[in-house]
Amino acid sequence: MQGKTGSESWQEVWDKSVNGPRALIDCWQEIPCDPCQEACAQGSIVLSSGICAPPALHAETCNGCGKCVAICPGMAIFLVDRSIGSGLARVTVPYEMRDEIRLGGEAWAVDGEGNYLAEGRITRVSGAGRPGRTMLLTIEVPEEWALKVRGVRGRRKLLEEPEEVEAIEAVEDFAFCRCEEIDYSRLREIITQGEFRSLPALRRFSRAGLGYCQGRFCQSILRSQFLADCPEEDREVESFRVRAPVRPVKLSRLGGEDG
């Protein structure tokens, strides 16, 4: 996935991030959306040609405060910080689940589709005490992954190792898709019945990831569980088709009226 802010601006962010955190914008949907611009007190984010335009970042003035990361409803902004040196980088991502991620603990950095990238230490958790607000997590990973990280997941290996999964399942179930209230156990039941062979079909049948958040919070679980449970020879690993709007938008705005 290429940021619509363009590789040039990513290069700039990368260069400037040796001085401290800078915002990495990976927003590419042409939809009416602009809270990032409003949130930035530095005036570092500009939507040059109207509300549907891609946001552009001035890495020069960005101070890495992270306001834009927390506000972006599309979860499309991250912070990259290379100031710690020694081949490591800190990446800050928005996070909405309130489970098992602990400051100082180990976690997995994943890409936009929930694929495992690297293991890392959580060095900062902010906003955890405010229910309903997006939390920001900072994870320390080898520098080479820094631009790819889009999310963080608990290291509870339930997603890859079936024996442990059974054990965990017995003690706790959880609504892994909170919008559609689909329990983890139900997901596994649907997968193991195996009436389909692709992720989009799993989503159609289970309705997981079809709720208000559009799978932003659950699709990595959906994907890993699918990979873990669906026999390899049968499956088709096709990504979800990302369709506008990337985040909920008032119908009136979509219709070009004032909201």
Instruction: Report the interface residues with another protein, using CB under 8 A.
Output: 30-31, 52, 179-180, 195-198, 200-201, 204-205, 207, 210-212, 214, 234, 236, 241, 243-245, 248-252, 254-257, 259
Q: Each residue of 26-65: b (16+ CB within 10 Å) or e?
A: bbbbebbbbbbbebbeeebbebeeeeebbbbbbbeebebb
9 or 44: whose CB is closer to ligand SF4?
44
1 or 237: whose CB is closer to ligand SF4?
1
**55 in contact with ligand SF4 (CB under 6 A):** yes
| Shortest Å distance, C-beta 242 to ligand SF4 | 12
**128 in contact with ligand SF4 (CB under 6 A):** no
Give me Rg for the CA atoms of the chain.
19
Considering only residues 13, 76, 191, 230, which one is a binding residue for ligand SF4 as defined by CB under 6 A? 76
**24 in contact with ligand SF4 (CB under 6 A):** no
User: How far is 110 from 233, CA to CA, in rounded Å?
Assistant: 24
**13 in contact with ligand SF4 (CB under 6 A):** no
Longest dimension (CA), the chain: 54
Please say whether the beta carbons of 78 and 23 come within 8 A. yes
Which of 90, 79, 82 is closest to 24 using CA atoms?
Answer: 79
Question: Among another protein, ligand SF4, none, what does residue 248 contact (CB within 5–8 Å per kind)?
Answer: another protein
The SS3 call for residue 36 is helix
User: How far is 183 from 85, CA to CA, in rounded Å?
Assistant: 42
34 or 180: whose CB is closer to another protein?
180
User: How far is 156 from 122, CA to CA, in rounded Å?
Assistant: 15
Element (H, E) at 125: strand 116-126
**66 in contact with ligand SF4 (CB under 6 A):** yes
Question: Among another protein, ligand SF4, none, what does residue 183 contact (CB within 5–8 Å per kind)?
Answer: none
Question: Among another protein, ligand SF4, none, what does residue 149 contact (CB within 5–8 Å per kind)?
Answer: none
Within 13 A of 73's CA, how many CA atoms are on the CB side? 17
User: How far is 168 from 76, CA to CA, in rounded Å?
Assistant: 32
Phi/psi at 131 (nearest 5 deg)?
Answer: -60, 145
Considering only residues 30, 34, 180, 229, which one is a binding residue for ligand SF4 as defined by CB under 6 A? 34
| Shortest Å distance, C-beta 80 to ligand SF4 | 10
Residue count, binding to ligand SF4 (CB under 6 A): 25
| Shortest Å distance, C-beta 85 to another protein | 42
Interface residues toward ligand SF4, by CB under 6 A: 23, 25, 27, 33-36, 39-40, 42, 44-45, 55, 57, 62-68, 72, 74, 76-77
